[in-house]
Amino acid sequence: MPELSPISVAFLVFPNVTQLDLTGPAQILSRLGNTSIDLVWKTRDPVPTDSGFPLLPTKTFDEVSQADILCVPGGFGTVDVMQDDEAIGWVRSMGTGADWVTSVCTGALVLGAAGLLKGYEATTHWASHEQLAFFGATPVKRRIVLDRNRLTGGGVTSGIDFALALVARIRGEAHAKFVQLSVEYDPHPPFDSGAPEKADAETLERYWALVNKAAPGRVETVRAIARRRGFDT
């Protein structure tokens, strides 16, 4: 069997990231073979997640200037990242040189703020879907959206699907199926409430109440960020 070509993966990690947006695809992409994965932030200090435990960056912005795959996860911390010129500058620079520019959940809005989704189809978490248009992207309501070398996933758990799809494109479908089997990815959720069109009204109302409490005015904030970064919204 020929030796697999090396693949480098850089994940942006930031305060209040949704850890499963990152750790789900990281687990899958780590099985590409001959792969290095870095979690990158301004410092190597522990970064708090929305799950109550920290992640440890492996490198800083200054130490990573190129990767084959750039992946930006989501979370409530993305609003702060979109307003952070240093972070956006690093994402923009990395995305310009990466073979694959990818995101999970609201990480797509960070790609958008960096100018990396203008003119591309993309997806994100259902509750933020229309905000993609603020950054010149075309929102598409699918779990995974591929447009040239932009591969975006929907909310949180779609990161596993996105990563398997990327493995298939890089190493072939047979290898992706092997990875899927190795992690026993055969989901059978106990409830059918994983999308807004399937959830009952009470559950939807409860979710929106959480969003409005945790991030009041989020839509207008994201719109203002897009305007500040030169997008006509």
- For residue 2, being part of any structural domain is answered with no
**For position 201, what pLDDT does the model report?**
97
69-72 β-sheet, strand order: 59-60, 35-41, 7-12, 69-72, 100-104, 150-153, 144-147
Q: What is the CATH number of the domain that holds 46?
A: 3.40.50.880
The catalytic residue positions are 105
Threshold 0.85, pTM exceeds: yes
Cα 18 from Cα 16, distance rounded (Å): 6
Q: Cα separation of 15 and 213, whole Å?
A: 18
1 located within any domain:
no
Residues whose CB falls within 8 Å of the CB of residue 116, separated by 6 or more in sequence, listed in order:
91, 92, 95, 101, 150
Residue 153 lies in a domain: yes
In a domain, 233, yes or no: no
Name the 3-class secondary structure at 55: strand
Identify whether 203 is part of a domain: yes
Domain housing 118: 7-228
pLDDT, position 3 = 84
User: Is residue 106 included in any domain, yes or no?
Assistant: yes
- Whether 168 and 98 have beta carbons less than 8 Å apart is answered as no
Cα–Cα distance for residue pair 125/4, rounded to 1 Å: 33
The pLDDT profile of the chain, 233 residues, written as one tens digit per residue, is 578 999 999 999 999 999 999 999 999 999 999 999 999 999 999 999 999 999 999 999 999 999 999 999 999 999 999 999 999 999 999 999 999 999 999 999 999 999 999 999 999 999 999 999 999 999 999 999 999 999 999 999 999 999 999 999 999 999 999 999 999 999 999 999 999 999 999 999 999 999 999 889 999 999 999 999 999 87
Q: For residue 215, what are its two tokens?
A: 């991030």
Whole-angstrom Cα distance, residue 12 to residue 103? Answer: 10
Domain count, the chain: 1
pLDDT for the residue 67:
98
The whole-number pLDDT of residue 1 equals 53
Helix 158-171 and helix 173-182, axial crossing angle in degrees, nearest 10: 140
